[in-house]
Amino acid sequence: MSKKIHDKSFEIFLTKEEIESRVSSLGAQIKKDFERKDPVLLGVLKGCFVFMADLSRAIDLPVEVSFIRLQSYEGFHSTGKPQISLSIKEKLEGRDILIVEDIVDTGNSIYHLKKELEDLKPNSVSIVALLHKADAFRFNYPIDYVGFEIPNKFVVGYGLDYDDLGRNLPDIYQVID
């Protein structure tokens, strides 16, 4: 069934069951890799809020959870300049940071964030993205954990918005051109 959000129509792309199953295996993999570490999950708001809630509960380790705010998208388009407001109280020096993103699209937001975080001298910075648009990605840094490689089409749901709507949809929808 298609959904209308503002001026666009969207069709179902990933069901909540498919997402749940993938998030659970990402959690199991991350648990294995971070077993003897003391990781900080650093979510990038707002889009990460649903993924973070599910992923953090799928990682069976004592983890800290923190959030930062970046914003670069207006409607469908990246403005190219994420606004970084780092208000992280925890000391990140020497820590193993896992950035939690709903989507890596052009890669611009995380490129800037990684640079800022490296100045704080963490032990490591890794990235988990539920979605990755490989055809849109303009950088060459590694994305350590990817839920789904997806085509270069706009998606909404499960935290992702189109002009502030659609974040609360349990499934992920893709725009119909």
DSSP state of 60: -
One residue of 42, 160, 169, 172 binding ligand HPA per CB under 6 A: 160
Q: Do residues 151 and 132 lie in contact, with contact meaning Cβ atoms separated by under 8 Å?
A: no
User: For helices 49-58 and 16-33, what crossing angle results, to 10°?
Assistant: 50
73 vs 48: CA distance, rounded Å? 14
Active site residue 105: yes
Contact partner at residue 23 from ligand HPA, ligand PRP, none, CB < 5 to 8 Å by partner kind: none
Residue 154 binds: one of ligand PRP, ligand HPA, none (C-beta under 5 to 8 A by kind): ligand HPA
Q: Which residues pair with 14 in a beta bridge?
A: 172
Task: For 62, list phi and psi in degrees, rounded to 5.
Answer: -75, 105
> Least distance from C-beta 35 to ligand PRP, angstroms?
28
CB 170 within 8 A of CB 158: yes
Q: Smallest gap, in angstroms, from Cβ of residue 69 to ligand PRP?
A: 7
Nearest residue to 65 (alpha-carbon basis) of 43, 86, 81: 43
CB of 108 to ligand PRP, least distance (A): 4
Q: Per CB under 6 A, which region of 25-33, 83-91, 137-145, 154-162 contacts ligand HPA?
A: 154-162
72 sits near ligand PRP (criterion: CB under 6 A): yes
Binding site for ligand HPA (CB under 6 A): 73, 103, 105, 154-156, 160-161
